């Protein structure tokens, strides 16, 4: 039976001992003892003794020769300073007791002031009564509905932008009128979930809270709604951050 073991003597030498072998190789250690090795091991040991470590290799970045001397970060609009104003009907399709048309962006307040006739000036966090106007009617500035208008100034709003919510009766005709006129006045139709996306990009919500908004909207049971509300309040974020 052949028994092999390796015993390290220092950082540069090691000894390999095998019994029942036929080849003798002299060790260059301080003791000068002889070890018995098979012929194949003997050739390997002789090659290893001739081995010399290679010089260290300097790692160079692939773009070092053309790297910019003064790189500039990609410019992005600061939080709450989006260049576009978006608008959308926030309530489900169909008739109902009330409906909501929302606007977010730098032109939200000015567009809303042209959609309705305010009875008092807009003020942050205050609900104002207003008349929804139908400019295409025969009489000038005819009122087609009454609404409650609430203004939230940046950055103290859901999206960290100027945000206006117009709550009128849930007539699809009235809500469509408000939305179409807002688009003509310079707003853009919001993408699905874009209000929450802007809140996330502005740092008002983290990713888990943004996902919880949809979970709460789509909840089918009270338990699901409770879990989503807890996550939206930051429960999961606090556990992950520990």
Q: What is the pLDDT of residue 4?
A: 44
Q: What is the pLDDT of residue 142?
A: 81
Percent of the chain with pLDDT over 70: 63
Q: What is the pLDDT of residue 24?
A: 44
Give mean pLDDT, residues 55-71: 43
Rounded-to-integer distance, Cα 197 and Cα 206, Å: 10
Q: pLDDT for 82-139, tens place per residue?
A: 689 999 999 888 888 899 999 999 999 999 999 999 999 999 999 999 999 887 765 6
Q: What is the pLDDT of residue 242?
A: 58
Give mean pLDDT, residues 145-153: 95
Instruction: Copy the structure tokens of residue 172.
Output: 């699809």
Residue 236 binned pLDDT confidence (cut-offs 50, 70, 90): confident
Is 22's pLDDT higher than 60?
Answer: no
Look up the pTM and report it.
0.62
Query: Which residues are CB-contacts of 49 (< 8 A; sequence separation ≥ 6)?
Result: 28
Which of 35-44, 174-183, 206-215, 219-228 comes out lowest in average pLDDT? 35-44
CA distances from 70 to 65, 77, 157, 221, 235 (A): 14, 21, 37, 56, 42
- Scanning the structure block, which residue is given the tokens 């003064």? 70
Q: pLDDT for 179-214, tens place per residue?
A: 999 999 999 999 999 999 999 999 998 888 889 898
Residue 147, classed as helix, strand or coil, is strand
Q: In what order do the strands lie in the sheet with 142-152?
A: 116-118, 127-134, 142-152, 163-170, 96-104, 86-89, 188-189
Q: What is the pLDDT of residue 131?
A: 94
Q: What is the pLDDT of residue 46?
A: 65
Rounded-to-integer distance, Cα 142 and Cα 116, Å: 11
Rounded-to-integer distance, Cα 26 and Cα 7, Å: 16
Structural domains of the chain sorted by starting position, each given as residue range(s) with its CATH number in brackets: 4-49 (no CATH), 86-198 (3.30.1360.120), 205-241 (no CATH)
């Amino acid at each position: 039976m052949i028994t092999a073991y390796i015993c390290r003597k220092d950082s540069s030498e090691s000894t390999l001992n095998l019994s029942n072998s036929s080849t003798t190789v002299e060790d260059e250690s301080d003791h000068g003892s002889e070890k018995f090795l098979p012929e194949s091991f003997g050739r390997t040991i002789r090659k290893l003794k001739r081995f010399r470590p290679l010089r260290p290799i300097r790692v160079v970045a692939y773009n070092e020769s053309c790297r910019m001397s003064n790189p500039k970060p990609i410019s992005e609009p600061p939080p709450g300073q989006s260049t576009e104003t978006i608008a959308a009907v926030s309530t489900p399709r169909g008739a109902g007791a009330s409906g909501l048309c929302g606007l977010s962006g730098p032109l939200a307040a000015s567009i809303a002031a042209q959609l309705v006739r305010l009875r008092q000036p807009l003020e942050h966090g205050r609900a104002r009564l207003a008349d929804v106007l139908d400019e295409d009617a025969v009489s000038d500035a005819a009122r087609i509905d009454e609404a409650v208008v609430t203004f939230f100034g940046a950055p103290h709003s859901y999206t960290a932008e100027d945000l206006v919510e117009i709550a009128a009766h849930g007539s699809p005709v009235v809500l469509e009128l408000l939305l179409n006129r807002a688009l003509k006045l310079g707003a853009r139709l919001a993408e699905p979930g874009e209000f929450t996306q802007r809140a996330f990009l502005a740092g008002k919500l983290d990713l888990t809270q943004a996902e919880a908004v949809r979970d709460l909207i789509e909840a089918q049971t009270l338990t699901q709604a409770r879990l989503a509300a807890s996550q939206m309040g930051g429960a999961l974020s606090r556990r992950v951050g520990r």
